[in-house]
Amino acid sequence: MRDVEGYFNSQAAACADETVSDLWRQLQDFHARRLWHQLTGVLQELVKHLKGVHALLPLYTQAIAEFENKLNPLTLVEICRPIAASLSESGEVTEADEFLDKLGVKVRHNTESFALTKILQGQIYVERQKNMDKTKMVLNEVEQLLDEIVGIGIVQKEFYLLQSEYFKILGNHAEYYKASLRYLGVSHLNERSDEENISLASHLALAAILGKNVFNFGELLAHPILKYLAQAPEQWLIELLQAFNAGHVAKFTALKQHWGKQPDLLANEPILYEKISLLSLMEMTFTRSATHRQITFQEIADQTNLSHDKIELLVMKALSRGLIKGQIDQVGETIHIHWVQPRVLDCSQLQTLQGKIDKWLEAIASVEGLIETNAKEILTY
């Protein structure tokens, strides 16, 4: 039987920081009165002030372990998180892993709490051990557990953050882009520093541009995280994203003075040129009305700056990737397109769509007037 109140009292007396000392005294008081909810709140505050494994681990072994079954399981895991982190940071990675394993057993009855312990283990595997196999196992296990969790909370946020870090290390740009967008969707910008938001925005922009089969940039362009990138030296990435989103080959070429200095982009120049050419074809299709979807090879060549002999291959790649649907007339050197892959639209693209709707309404009104006129003639017979 641990002397919990004695431990709290000794810590309060030994602490020179009056703020922290007061927290220890509050813990002693709330524990004596069995006020677990209030005690939990103070514990959450206290672990923010304690630094290092020698300060954090005794808090668990001398006190929390005695009444942990009285605490909310998810909050217990959050309180124990810095304890596990301190073990890991001090080089005791195995001990940190074992600590989270034991904690997971204790909270297994609560799916959300158990999933968080697995994610915290995954963070150790990916950050400290660079063990991608173990990290993948954790991600697969937690992904199944997410189906049992109602609502969106810390587990989803930490899961997508771990997932994005995993794919970043693997160099899988497309999956990193997808996971990071999901992470942004369940987190708030003010949870990170400006530097962290700039870094995240930069990595997202590069992943979108480099990602295989990533042809949708609208969601990222509309996200407020780009306002941080707009104030950074890498602000040219926003212009590059806009160029890709609009299929603007000339702008892409003009921006080479910037992206040509980025090693990954420069190394993938042929792939990027093909990607923006495909996006240019998609944009050509989108901006045309439904009755004028026949595009000549020469028009595509003029828009993309590709030589005439490469246009048919470009169109075939667009068809095979499901970016467009239509038929190629090899003899007439034209393509008739009747569908283009849906994308998140920016303001200029929405204006184009609005113009199409207006023309469609005008056409309907014209047909309606024609029917009314002809109906009068029919009724006279």
d(CA 318, CA 310): 13
Mean pLDDT of 114-123: 97
For position 351, what pLDDT does the model report?
67
Predicted confidence band at 165 (pLDDT cuts at 50, 70, 90)?
very high
Q: Which of 127, 133, 134, 65 is nearest to 93 (CA)?
A: 127
Q: DSSP letters along 137-157, please?
A: HHHHHHHHHHTT--S--HHHH
CB atoms within 10 A of CB 256: 14
Contact 278, 246 (CB under 8 A): no
The larger pLDDT score, comparing residue 344 to residue 83, is at 83
d(CA 214, CA 207): 9
Predicted confidence band at 102 (pLDDT cuts at 50, 70, 90)?
very high
Mean pLDDT of 250-265: 96
d(CA 332, CA 120): 60
Mean pLDDT of 262-285: 95
Predicted confidence band at 366 (pLDDT cuts at 50, 70, 90)?
confident
Mean pLDDT of 140-159: 94
Contact 228, 194 (CB under 8 A): yes
d(CA 225, CA 142): 27
The residue written with tokens 């950074």 in the block is 232
Predicted confidence band at 345 (pLDDT cuts at 50, 70, 90)?
low
Residue 377 scores a pLDDT above 70: no
For position 150, what pLDDT does the model report?
86
For position 32, what pLDDT does the model report?
94
Residue 241 scores a pLDDT above 60: yes
For position 331, what pLDDT does the model report?
87
What angle is formed at CA 291 by the lines to CA 339 and CA 277, rounded to 5 degrees?
45
The token duo for 327 is: 């038929």
d(CA 47, CA 44): 6
Residue 258 scores a pLDDT above 90: yes
Contact 290, 336 (CB under 8 A): no
CB atoms within 10 A of CB 20: 18
For position 38, what pLDDT does the model report?
96
For position 348, what pLDDT does the model report?
65
Digit-coded pLDDT (tens) for 127-145: 988 999 999 999 999 999 9
For position 2, what pLDDT does the model report?
74
Pairing type for strands 294-296 and 324-329 reads: unpaired
> For the stretch 270-291, what's the b/e string if a residue is b when 16 or more beta carbons lie within 10 angstroms of its beta carbon?
eebbbbbbbbbbbbbbbbbeee
Residue 112 scores a pLDDT above 60: yes
Predicted confidence band at 1 (pLDDT cuts at 50, 70, 90)?
low
Digit-coded pLDDT (tens) for 5-64: 999 999 999 988 999 999 999 999 999 999 999 999 999 999 999 999 999 999 999 999
Digit-coded pLDDT (tens) for 187-239: 999 999 999 999 999 999 999 999 999 999 989 999 999 999 998 999 999 99
Cα distances from 106 to residues 2, 60, 102, 130, 140, in angstroms, run: 19, 14, 7, 27, 21
For position 35, what pLDDT does the model report?
96
Local structure of 184: helix, strand or coil: helix
d(CA 167, CA 377): 69
The token duo for 210 is: 């480099």
d(CA 67, CA 83): 16
Cα distances from 71 to residues 48, 102, 193, 244, in angstroms, run: 18, 16, 31, 51
Q: Which amino acid is at 28?
A: Q
Q: What is the CA radius of gyration of the chain?
A: 29
Q: What is the length of the chain?
A: 381
State the pTM of this model: 0.86
For position 359, what pLDDT does the model report?
65
Residue 78 scores a pLDDT above 90: yes
Residue 367 scores a pLDDT above 80: no
Ranges assigned E (strand) in the chain: 294-296, 324-329, 334-340
Digit-coded pLDDT (tens) for 321-339: 999 999 999 889 999 988 8
> Percent of the chain scored above 70 by pLDDT?
91
Mean pLDDT of 305-330: 93
Residue 69 scores a pLDDT above 80: yes
